[in-house]
Structure 1
């Protein structure tokens, strides 16, 4: 399952990229996010792995490439699913940035999550849209 979400943020691209790398922005935009623990590899570079800790689950993030402030691409693994996320940042002018996030769910593990993905694929996109709206609000408050 693949989908794309886009949002315009009223802040310069360099500032948006800085917030994107900051775990505090994750706390503000993803409701149940608690913390991030670096596991291995050079932090912020291709191949680096981190554990993203949420209230009810953990994700393993593996950076595929980090070309911030322009783009960030990573794989996220959970016991029930695997996906990649590519976020691109495009300056619309000196003060506004377009953020485009492409999600590709590459694997669903287990009958329940497979049924949810098949019957309600819009739920996944709706959740990412909600995160982007919260991320935008956080960035614009800073």
Structure 2
């Protein structure tokens, strides 16, 4: 399953990237994030890995982020792996105005078991809505300082 999401952030690209490229800030725009733990490599560099732990409702989930390419401020690509799901993310940050950045996120999900493949096939909007939710939460944090940490 593949799709593209995008959002316009009313800040210069340098500010957007400074806020995005911070482990401390993850908790403010990734709702449910419990912990982000570096595993291998130099943080943020190609090939480095980090374990991300989330609580979504009553369910807890862990995933491993692997950096494919980090060419900030222009682009950032990574994979995210959890039980039965391999997610490939290609993110682009385009200057679209003096104080405006467009974040384009291309997502591809690959499922390793039949039930998840079926879920992705019949309910792709669940994945699209979640991707856009993170983007909107980042926008609110970057532009207004609104945090999802305690909500």
Quick check: TM above 0.5? Answer: yes
- Give the total of aligned pairs: 141
Query: In structure 2, how many angstroms separate the alpha carbons of the residues matched to 1:45 and 1:27?
Result: 20
Deviation at 1:114, TM superposition (A): 1.8
SS of equivalent residue, structure 2 residue 47? coil
Q: What's 2:74 paired with?
A: 70
- TM-score, scaled to structure 1: 0.93
Segments of 4+ in structure 1 off by > 6 A?
none
Could you list the per-position Cα deviations for residues 11-50 of structure 1 after superposition, in whole angstroms to 9, with x for gaps in the alignment? 1101111111123432222211122111111221110011
| 1:80 pairs with 2:84 | yes
Q: What's 2:96 paired with?
A: 92
Structure 2: unaligned runs, 5 residues or longer: 146-151
SS of equivalent residue, structure 1 residue 54? strand
Instruction: Say what the alpha-carbon RMSD is for the aligned residues.
Output: 1.2
Q: What's 1:38 paired with?
A: 38
Q: What's 1:23 paired with?
A: 23
Structure 1: unaligned runs, 5 residues or longer: none
Query: In structure 2, how many angstroms separate the alpha carbons of the residues matched to 1:12 and 1:19?
Result: 11
- TM-score, scaled to structure 2: 0.88
Deviation at 1:140, TM superposition (A): 0.2
